[in-house]
Homo-oligomer: A and B are copies of this chain.
Amino acid sequence: MSEALRPMVKSRLYEQVLERLRAHVVEAGLSAGDRLPAERDLAASLGVSRASIKQAIVVLEVQGLVEARHGGGTYLVRDTLDVEPVEQLVERRKRLPEVLEAREALETKLAELAAERRTDAELETIRAALDFMRDEIDAGDNGVEGDRRFHAAVTAAAHSSLLADFMKTIAGQITESRTESLRQPGRPSRSLAQHTAIYEAIAAGDAKKAAAAMRKHVRTVAKVRLLTWVPED
């Protein structure tokens, strides 16, 4: 059997780059938070163009394995560049209801405290997060960063380091549910509306109302998450 007769192997370049990148992470012993070599360096050392490097990085980006910071380098999110096995995904899902229950308990209380304790500066930070999220959505984005900032600001305004610590321990899972929730069509703008209601209650210093608004919001997220279905409210 001649070599020439063998069918040509087609393989996108970026896929090969992906492989080399995975290998590099292993060989160099990189772990979460470490920085990948600069795109220009990678292009030079792998002998491909920067555009191909970038395509590979974009793939890793959408898979949530890497975070590219404009002007600041590209960083590993986990210890590996392998996609998460489905098994772990399913496994994590099973634990998720507990996380959401915890979130409801914590954030409801946080909103209540924030309404009572927030300074004017903290209120302003919350409002800024709201504006940020609105801008994101206007720009066609899903507003996940504004969402994160909003909840972070509310948590800060509650002035409870203990509750804040608890929130921190489930921050990862919350991020996950946030992203998935906001990916649902029409979800971002409705989420923004709920955030606004929470903000207004906190601004008015109405603890009871703030708690109720937050509870409603968190429950909506939980519902979306569990059913991939957006209830009309």
Residues of A within 8 A of B (CB): 1, 5-12, 14-16, 19, 51, 54-55, 58-59, 61-63, 70, 83, 85-91, 93-94, 127-128, 131-132, 135-136, 138-141, 180, 183, 227-230, 232
Decide: A132 and B7 in contact? CB cutoff 8 A: yes
Residues of the B chain whose Cβ atoms lie less than 8 Å from the Cβ of A180: 86
Decide: A6 and B131 in contact? CB cutoff 8 A: yes
Complex CA gap A188/B94 in Å reads 31
Tell me the minimal C-beta distance from A32 to chain B in angstroms.
Answer: 20
Q: Given A89-B86, A90-B232, A229-B87, does the pair A14, B139 have CB atoms closer than 8 Å?
A: no
Decide: B62 and A11 in contact? CB cutoff 8 A: no
Tell me the minimal C-beta distance from A103 to chain B in angstroms.
Answer: 19
Q: Given A55-B54, A58-B58, does the pair A128, B7 have CB atoms closer than 8 Å?
A: yes
Residues of the B chain whose Cβ atoms lie less than 8 Å from the Cβ of A90: 90, 93, 229-230, 232
Residue from A7, A9, A58, A85 whose CB has the most chain B CB atoms within 10 Å: A9
Complex CA gap A14/B68 in Å reads 13
Residues of the B chain whose Cβ atoms lie less than 8 Å from the Cβ of A94: 230, 232
Residue of B with least CB distance to A135: B9
